[in-house]
Structures are given as C-alpha cells and as structure tokens.
C-alpha cells in the first residue's frame, strides 16, 4: 500500500521505503532551517510520518490540510520555507548521516517541489485540523543527531527510532 502526499491536483505515492527516504532527507533539512513557530509545526508534521513509530502504511499528508497562515504574507513565508528546505535536501544535505543511500529521494524531492510550487495555500481560518498546533510543534532536538523530534511523543529522532541492522 502506498503512502500519499498530495497537493491540489498532484500527488506523490510512495512505498514504505520511498516514504522513509523522502521524509528522512527532508527532515534533515527542516531541522537545520527551522527558526519560526510555523517551521517547527511543519517539522512536527514530518516527525509524524516516521513509520517506525506510527506504523507502516499509516502516514501521509495533503498540502491542503496544512495551516499555511491566516494572511497572504504568512502563507507565502510558510510555502517559501518548505521550498527552501526541499532545495537544501536536494543538495544532499547531511545524507551521509543516514547510514544508507536514499535511492530515488532526489526524484521524490523534485516531484514534491513541483507540487508545492504549483499549490496555492488557502486561508486556514476554517481548517479542521491534522496539522500540529503551536503547542505541538517539534521543539526538541535530539542531542545525538541534531534532528528535531516530536517529544514527548517518543524518545528521540527518526535515527534513534530506526531498527538496528544486525
């Protein structure tokens, strides 16, 4: 079963391994760029895509379910953050820390970039939920890996929760 990341008329349907690689490389970039409450909320959304914690096949999100901001300026700033993080991930930022080669991750990031670029965020004042609120933002950083995590939900980042290879 594929995990779907949607945005308007476009979607990115990934296998379990593809989802892991996509989220891992994006999370490395987001962790190093986050500096605003919204950025940390987006980081929390990404941490909720960790299949080692949430379960295989139980992840995915749609861009229209994200609270991009109440004003055009905030929405533009939020979208710009996602595009900057994706561009940083495309540069293979910190990929050497993964312990594996994230095959096809660049393809997924290019597709996600196109999806975000063409997506027009709407006013989020009537948004039902699903996007972590300000109190749920990922403010904790794993001291070992310097990656944001959704503490207190679990003890560590996606590298800490990854099953050990024997």
| Confidence band of 92 (pLDDT split at 50, 70, 90) | very high
Which pLDDT tens digit goes with each residue over 35-85? Answer: 999 999 999 889 888 665 655 666 778 898 899 998 999 999 999 999 999
Global confidence as pTM: 0.85
Query: Which tokens is 112 given?
Result: 């996600």
- The pLDDT value recorded for residue 102 is 94
DSSP state of 81: H
- Other CB atoms within a 10 A radius of the CB of residue 102 amount to 19
| Confidence band of 1 (pLDDT split at 50, 70, 90) | very low
- The pLDDT value recorded for residue 47 is 85
Query: Which tokens is 72 given?
Result: 């055009």
**32 vs 57: CA distance, rounded Å:** 27
């Amino acid at each position: 079963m594929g995990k779907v990341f949607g945005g308007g008329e476009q979607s990115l349907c990934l296998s379990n391994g593809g989802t892991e690689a996509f989220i891992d490389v994006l999370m490395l970039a987001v962790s190093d760029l986050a500096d605003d409450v919204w950025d940390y909320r987006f980081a929390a959304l990404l941490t909720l895509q960790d299949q080692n914690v949430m379960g295989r096949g139980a992840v995915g999100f749609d861009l229209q379910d994200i609270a991009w901001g109440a004003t055009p300026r905030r929405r533009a700033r939020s979208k710009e953050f996602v595009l900057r993080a994706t561009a940083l991930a495309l540069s293979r930022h910190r990929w050497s820390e993964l312990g594996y080669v994230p095959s096809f991750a660049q393809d997924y990031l290019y597709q996600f970039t196109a999806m975000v670029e063409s997506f027009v965020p709407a006013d989020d004042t009537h948004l039902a939920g699903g996007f972590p609120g300000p109190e749920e933002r990922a403010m904790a950083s794993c001291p070992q890996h310097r990656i944001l995590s959704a503490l207190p939900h679990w003890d560590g980042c996606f590298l800490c929760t990854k099953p050990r290879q024997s």
